[in-house]
Amino acid sequence: MGLFTSKEKQIENPIKDGVLGEFKLHELLNRGGMSEIWSATDMHHNHYALRMLNQNLRFDFTAKKRFLRGCEILSQVYDHEHIVQYYDHGKINGTLFLLMECVEGGNLKQLSHKGDPVLTQNLSETLIFIASALDHVHLQGFIHLDFKPENILMTRNGIVKLVDFDLSVPIQEKPFKTKKNPGTPFYMAPEQLLKQPIDRRVDIFSFGVTAYELTTQSKPFPGESPEEILKFQLNQSRYLATPRSINPSIPEGLEAIILKCLKQDPESRYPYMSVVLAELEKVLYLR
C-alpha cells in the first residue's frame, strides 16, 4: 500500500502556470478517462487543440500504446477536409501529447440531441461528409473501429471533422480477430459483439447506426447491455423499426441505404464505403 502511495506522490503535474512546454493552455475542452483536450497557443500565437494523456496513466503501458497508436494513425489519414488536422505528437515533461486542429463546435451527439439548426438544416451534406471521411480512412488502409456521433465534430458553419483514432487498426487481407474487443456496443456490428473475425464492414455497420440515429433521433438497437443489443441485432425483423416509420420525411432511398448498412450478415452489407458514398450522393441529389 505504501509503495503505491509513494508512486502516486512522484507524479507531478506537467502544467506550470497554465503552460505545457512551449504551449499556453487556455480552456479545457474535453476530459475523459484517458486524456484531456485543451485549447492552446504556441509562442507564435497559432491556435491548436492539445490532447494529453491523463497523469494517472503515465505508467499504464496499454493506455500509452493506444494513445500513441491514435496519434500515428491520425498522422497518416488526416489529409482530408473532414478529418481533424494533425500537427505533431510526442512527449513534453514526460507527458504524451497530440497537437491537432482546434474545432470550435460540438459533436454530433450533442448537436442532434438539442436539435441544433446547423445540423438539422445540413443533414444530407453531413451524411455525405462523414461517409467521405470514413471512406478516406479505409482507402488509407485502416478501420476506425469507433465511428459514432460523439467522434464527429461540427463547426458553427457546418463543417464536420472525424476524430479519435485510438482504437483504429490496419485493414488486413482477410477478416481477423482482435485481441480485445474495444468500441461502443451501441455502434458495434454483430460480429464484433460475438467476437468473431472482422473487416472494414464493421465500420459500415457503425455508419448505418450513426445515420439511423441522426435521422430518427433514436437508436436502432436500444439495448441496456451488449447482450441485449446483440439480441436486437440478431432479430431485426422483429425489433428494428424502419427509419421512415419514425421519421416519414426520410427519403426512401436513404432508408434503403441505412438498412443495408445495418444488415446482420456482413456479406449482405455494402462491400466498401465508396459504394455507400456513391449511393448517398445519388439519393440525396448531391452528385
Other CB atoms within a 10 A radius of the CB of residue 275 amount to 15
Nearest to 269 by CA among 186, 175, 203: 203
What value does the mean pLDDT take over residues 59-70? 94
Residue ranges of domains in the chain, CATH in brackets: 11-100 (3.30.200.20), 105-283 (1.10.510.10)
**146 a catalytic residue:** yes
Report whether 14 contacts 94 (CB < 8 A).
yes
* Structure confidence by residue, pLDDT tens digits, 173-224: 999 998 777 789 999 999 999 999 999 999 999 999 999 999 999 999 999 9
Element housing 153 (H / E): strand 152-155
C-alpha–C-alpha distance, residues 108 and 82, integer Å: 13
Is the pTM higher than 0.85? Answer: yes
Which listed residue (146, 164, 166, 203) is catalytic? 146
* Structure confidence by residue, pLDDT tens digits, 144-165: 999 999 999 999 999 999 999 9
Q: How many CA atoms lie within 13 A of 132 on its CB side?
A: 17
C-alpha–C-alpha distance, residues 130 and 111, integer Å: 15
Element housing 131 (H / E): helix 123-139
